[in-house]
Chains A and B, each alone.
Chain A
């Protein structure tokens, strides 16, 4: 999972303390009723409290006071444990978000101009002309639309968009990445985040989010439960659990006339205990914790989600759209080989290549110099004139004083130039060009005075380990699509080499959109990652749109997740987090229901053993007495909740081994395990309980 280790311990002391307090606060009926399964336990607990009072008042047919008080206490603990699970999940999420937010609180902001929307409401600033000076205000007073200034050494007070200037920024506070990044006005890298630090230069920034409405704020609100809504899948599961609860309510209610028929008095404590043991309290108690923990895990991977639903959807993704550059390949292309034409020596060619690239500041140009391994200072470039790359000539180069013109450029543009001058294009070079292209490389032909000298091979470097990740995705059933501006031939080669399933070559922004729509029409769920404003429509169209934190405000608004690390491979982690979330729900539901088998075998014989002694042979755990059997079952039912909190928070491990194998594995562990574990657990607890009763 994530390489970030913030708060890697599950239970920090401070968090636990807060969560314990919350467990009691959450006992308010208004909060409890949101969880129908646990709410019925709540009613059961109140009934038991009543029974305890009744017995204290002299009733004698309901068993001893100590026994009833114990049952009441265990039920109360069951509620508290469930509340604690939710509280600790909330606390962890909140702590994580707080640590991100802390940096940006109460940073002084150099306010340049008030937002226009503010103007009408504020008489003082009505006639405010654009200022060259600024006044200092606390960041908490900034509103959406305000302009503020940041200079070298300043901490950026609020999320915003650069409208003027360029600066290097240290984003390590958020991403943990120490290398500074460049942000500038206009284009796709104009967004800055509150809490990051300007290292050089000066920028003017417009506030894009109102205080308390940044993505982080929204996320914190989601985690805290104020605006948390149940996701569709959570609702469906709640319905299923509620129906199980009703089935068991029917079991317990009808048991009364059945017991009367069998002449067996059953105490209220036994009825309530049987009921609480049978209903799916384990999953019911952990359900909301699982959901929060999902968002929490996303945050731990430095991804801010706008809703719990987005995390859930991520588990269902069928198709991932990934940009080639930066995701599949490392940064830019690199020169890997020189192929001189016949009659040209390697040394001559290498020197020509180096000369042609001396003024070339593109990463490709630099890599050519690197590959040439020549001391550039020794090259005689006095009086040389550099020829910039233009879209028209599609070549660049250098004019040396001796009338030597060296050009390098795309195959067809150089070929045009050469053939126009009446020279032949050498066959062996044409051959090299073809080979390079079909190997996924980009050929750059170099000419001197309209004669071909040879060809440089530029290659994409595929990130190490990326094909294994794609293989893992394929096993999960997720199709990967590479998006690239390369020609189809190159794209195909890289696609095959990296192991992606499909590619979009010569991609224009609308191509992404069309591809997403096409996949969605086929019923698939698509995710993409983007940063630019021109990505925004596609991000909005995608089922999961992850925007890089460096992206524009429009792009962030369009997507439903923001990746603070600007790491395009993050999508893969997000898919796993989504799957883990759903799996944790499924396995704990299975476990919870499977537990009931053992509980029946503990409680039912205990209820009827006095009137039907033959039922002793159903007491297969050989529990000590009817009271100890009931107590052991309720205690097991209560303590299984805290025991499973770590699993609920961390999530069930996802293994890409195919759906059927995964189902078999989880059925064995949580289904069969869920049947066996409580037999052992209840027996052990009974051995201890027997010491006291």
Chain B
């Protein structure tokens, strides 16, 4: 077989092989069983003691959400303040300036919500202090917030009837000390040994073959690149993200970063099975998500390896595929694979420029973010999938002639309302945002902003439409990757995507946790042979069909006007 494809397959298999024991370990950590990281106990107890938290006290869904939202709010103000004043603070060897308020607003939110949409370039837009204590810090806590949300769901599913979704602070702290930190250390060490910088010195300078002297940005990057993937964050140390030779030096680090960004989302599925002791339920979800991923990945790799029809028409041979915007050291297959992995799981790091992907590959990337539940982000992927499950349970339950129930709890108007609102929200934010952008572009092209709307798009026409649609899709999915042909550092994009980011992050966490909180409180109904079996393949397929139908119906027109029209016009 083609070595490029073999590399991709080996990478995926490696991910699953590591994710399985990791899932078992995660389940043990949150079940309070003995694990090899119990040496962290004193440290955790120390944190709880100084912050006056009783980690053993359970929380109902409202208390859980209040704790989560309150502390997130605190981090937002903290990050905003540091970003706006970074030039006056320590660790700024390259003398980078303060952020503008709208950029600071966007960046603070973007990292708080695990999105990492970057309207700046790390080399010149941040100092080492803000890289470490804003960006790096938020990468850990936002990932841990996502894991905590998923564990709250697990707790609601574990017991027949319960009010207790667990203690947010305890789960949050353990997510960092037991999962994110150890994994990041391992990955950081591997990256550092492969050439990623881990130094506090300022720019290095090299003399190129042409004799020019070039300043090369450096910094303590390896650690950040590790958590950027482990926590499905995706924001790069360098502007070029993981296509930058120092951020992703070789094919091996490329594999490591691919595995790193995917293991927690997959491990959380296995953890679900172990934790609530319904492995089949988890395996069916894993199978459906994997099938979904393959639907996106297989054609994408195929298109990228085949090369561009436009170039083919010129009679140019493309033996290595569509290489525009791609790194030669990774090749078309691994770049195509990365582009889908990073979009389905909300990492948003890139090792090639998505703007240069084939039109339909671009559509696959968008679909990955629109669905946002084929594995999905760190912890939150499973929450997104849960919303689809609730809708599937409702329709499927009716179809077997019972009022719908999920794991012994009746799904009624309130739960349906919340699930429907969350589904609605994505459609509203993404299309509303894109419509607003299109409106400004067409009607108010000459507004005096840093980048005038008329000059936003590198490529007008269908591709330009895709760039705008992609940006809002990425913001809503908390993904953070971009079709980089867009002039996005101006007040319009910073503010609109800022709001989309924060709504697109927290409502899809609040919704599922509220639903599971409401469901778990209800009386438990034992299953009979007339009950819809949620751990059956049939139900899995129903959920999958619901995902496809809802996504297709909600986004068919913009997808036609963007990538499909571009493809058909090639």
Residues of A within 8 A of B (CB): 232-233, 235-237, 239-240, 242-243, 246-248, 250-251, 253-258, 260-262, 278, 312-313, 315-316, 318, 474-479, 522-525, 578-580, 582-583, 585-587, 589-590, 593-594, 596-597, 600, 604-605, 608, 612, 614-615, 617-618, 654, 658-660, 662-664, 666-667, 670-671
Contact A278 B553 (CB under 8 A): yes
Taking a contact as CB atoms under 8 Å apart, the answer to whether A664 and B538 are in contact is yes
Contact B542–A579 (Cβ < 8 Å):
no
Is A671 a contact of B532 with CB atoms below 8 Å? no
A selection of 5 A-B contacts at a CB cut-off of 8 Å is A233-B412, A251-B554, A258-B557, A474-B529, A582-B402
Q: B474 at the A/B interface (Cβ < 8 Å)?
A: no
List the 7 closest pairs (A to B, CB-CB), nearest first: A477-B530, A586-B398, A579-B401, A477-B528, A243-B420, A614-B568, A586-B399
For the complex, what is the distance from the CA of A662 to the CA of B401, rounded to whole Å? 9
**Apart from A258-B465, A612-B568, A614-B569, 4 more pairs, CB < 8 Å:** A251-B553, A254-B435, A586-B400, A667-B545
Verify B560–A478 contact, CB threshold 8 A: no
Which residues from chain B contact A525 at a C-beta distance below 8 Å? 525
Instruction: Flag if A523 contacts B523 (CB, 8 Å).
Output: yes
Residue of A nearest to B405 (CB): A316
* B32-48, CB < 8 A from A: none
The answer to whether A247 and B400 touch across the interface, beta carbons within 8 angstroms, is: no
Contacts of A589 in B (CB 8 A): 395, 398
Task: Give bound CA distance, A258 to B432, whole Å.
Answer: 11
With contacts A251-B431, A477-B531 taken as known, whether A261 is within 8 angstroms of B465 at the C-beta atoms is yes
Cβ A667 vs Cβ B442 within 8 A = no
Which residue of chain A is the closest to B416 with respect to CB atoms? Answer: A236
Give the residue of A257, A583, A596, A615 whose beta carbon is less than 8 angstroms from that of B560. A615
Cβ of B398 and Cβ of A524 under 8 Å apart? no
Taking the nearest CB of chain A, how far is it from the CB of B474, in angstroms?
A: 17
Residue on B with the closest CB to A662? B400
The answer to whether A663 and B396 touch (CB under 8 A), given A247-B423, A315-B403, A597-B552, is yes
Interface centre among A250, A256, A658 (most CB of B within 10 A): A250
In the bound complex, what is the Cα–Cα distance between A250 and B423 (angstroms)? 12
Residues of B within 8 A of A243 (CB): 420-421, 423-424
In this assembly, does B434 line the interface, its C-beta being within 8 Å of a C-beta of chain A? yes
> Nearest-CB distance from B404 to chain A (Å)?
8
Q: Is B78 engaged at the interface, CB distance under 8 Å to the other chain?
A: no
Option from B525, B538, B560 in Cβ contact (under 8 Å) with A524: B525
Inter-chain CA distance A409–B549, complex, in Å, is 72
Chain B neighbourhood of A524, CB < 8 A: 525-526
Query: Do A262 and B465 have beta carbons less than 8 Å apart?
Result: yes
Given contacts A251-B557, A254-B434, contact A590 B428 (CB under 8 A): no
| Nearest Cβ on chain A to B526's Cβ, whole angstroms | 6
Contact of A239 among B402, B417, B533 (CB under 8 A): B417
A329 to chain B minimum Cβ distance, whole angstroms, is 26
Q: Would you call B556 and A587 a contact (CB within 8 A)?
A: no
Which of B539, B564, B569 contacts A663 (CB under 8 A)?
B539
The answer to whether B439 touches A257 (Cβ under 8 A) is yes
Contact with A along B296-313 (1 / 0, CB 8 A): 000000000000000000
User: Is B1 in the interface zone, CB < 8 Å from A?
Assistant: no
Q: Which of B397, B533, B565 contacts A586 (CB 8 A)?
A: B397
- Given A258-B557, A614-B569, CB of A235 within 8 Å of CB of B398: no
**Interfacial chain B residues near A523, Cβ < 8 Å:** 408, 523-526
Q: At the interface, yes or no: B14 with Cβ under 8 Å from chain A?
A: no
Interface residue B385 (Cβ < 8 Å from any Cβ of A)? no
With A251-B431, A258-B435, A615-B568 in contact, do A600 and B529 touch (Cβ < 8 Å)?
A: no
- Please indicate the chain A residues that have their CB under 8 angstroms from the CB of B536 in the complex: 660
Interface residues of B in 530-568 (CB under 8 A from A): 530-533, 536, 538-539, 541-542, 545, 549-550, 552-554, 556-558, 560-561, 564-565, 568
Whether A312 contacts B401 by the Cβ 8 Å rule is no
Task: State which residues 43-87 of B face A: CB under 8 Å.
Answer: none
State in angstroms the CA–CA spacing of A593 and B549 once bound together.
8
Report chain A residues within 8 Å CB of B435: 253-254, 256-258
Cα-based distance from A315 to B550 in the complex (angstroms): 28
Q: Please give, as numbers and ranges, the residues of chain B lying within 8 Å of A258 by CB-CB distance.
A: 434-435, 438, 465, 557-558, 561
Q: How far is the CA of A615 from the CA of B416 in the complex (A)?
A: 37
- On whether the beta carbons of A600 and B553 are closer than 8 Å, the reply is yes
Q: A474-B529, A524-B526, A660-B536 are in contact. Are A671 and B545 (CB under 8 A)?
A: yes
B391 in the interface, Cβ–Cβ < 8 Å? yes
Task: Determine how close the nearest CB of chain A comes to the CB of B460; give it in whole angstroms.
Answer: 9
* Chain A proximity of B568: nearest CB distance (Å): 4
| Shortest Cβ distance from residue A252 to the other chain B in the assembled complex, whole angstroms | 9
Does B427 sit within 8 A of A, measured CB to CB?
yes
Q: Which residues of B are found within 8 Å of A478, using beta-carbon distances? A: 528, 530
State the CA gap A290–B428 with chains docked (Å).
Answer: 31
Residues of A within 8 A of B557 (CB): 251, 254-255, 258, 604
User: B560 contacts A608, CB within 8 Å?
Assistant: yes
Q: How far is the CB of B60 from chain A (nearest CB, A)?
A: 21
Distance in angstroms between the alpha carbons of A550 and B212 in the assembled complex: 105
**Residue in B431, B434, B436 with the greatest tally of chain A CB atoms within 10 Å:** B431
**Residues A659 and B413 in contact, CB atoms below 8 Å apart:** no
User: Residue B441 at the A interface, CB < 8 A?
Assistant: yes
Instruction: Kindly list chain A residues whose C-beta atoms are within 8 Å of the C-beta of B549.
Output: 593-594, 596-597
CA distance A262 to B530 in the complex (A): 51
B398 touches A237 (CB 8 A): yes
- Asked whether B560 lies within 8 Å of A604 as measured between CB atoms, the reply is yes
Question: B399–A663 contact, CB under 8 A?
Answer: yes
Q: Collect the chain B residues with CB atoms within 8 Å of residue A587's CB.
A: 398-399
CA of A278 to CA of B550, assembled, Å = 12
B394 within 8 A of A: yes
Q: Which residue of B396, B402, B428, B564 contacts A316 across the interface (Cβ within 8 Å)?
A: B402
Residues of B within 8 A of A664 (CB): 538
Point out the residue from B412, B420, B529 that lies within 8 Å of A659, measured CB to CB: B529
List residues of chain A with CB within 8 A of the CB of B438: 257-258, 260-261
Contact A250 B401 (CB under 8 A): no
Q: Please name all residues of chain A whose beta carbon is closer than 8 Å to the beta carbon of B525 when the two chains form the complex.
A: 318, 523-525
Minimum CB–CB distance for A618 against chain B, Å: 7
Given contacts A239-B417, A255-B557, A522-B526, contact A590 B399 (CB under 8 A): yes
Q: For residues 233 through 265 of chain B, which have their beta carbon under 8 Å from a beta carbon of chain A?
A: none
Kindly identify which residue among B398, B432, B526, B552 contacts A582, using a CB–CB cutoff of 8 Å: B398
Shortest Cβ distance from residue A451 to the other chain B in the assembled complex, whole angstroms: 55
Interface contact B399-A250, CB-CB below 8 Å? no
Contact assessment for B403 and A316 in the assembled complex, using a CB-CB cutoff below 8 Å: yes
- Name the B residues within 8 Å of A594 (CB-CB): 549
Name the distance in Å between A244's Cβ and chain B's nearest Cβ: 8
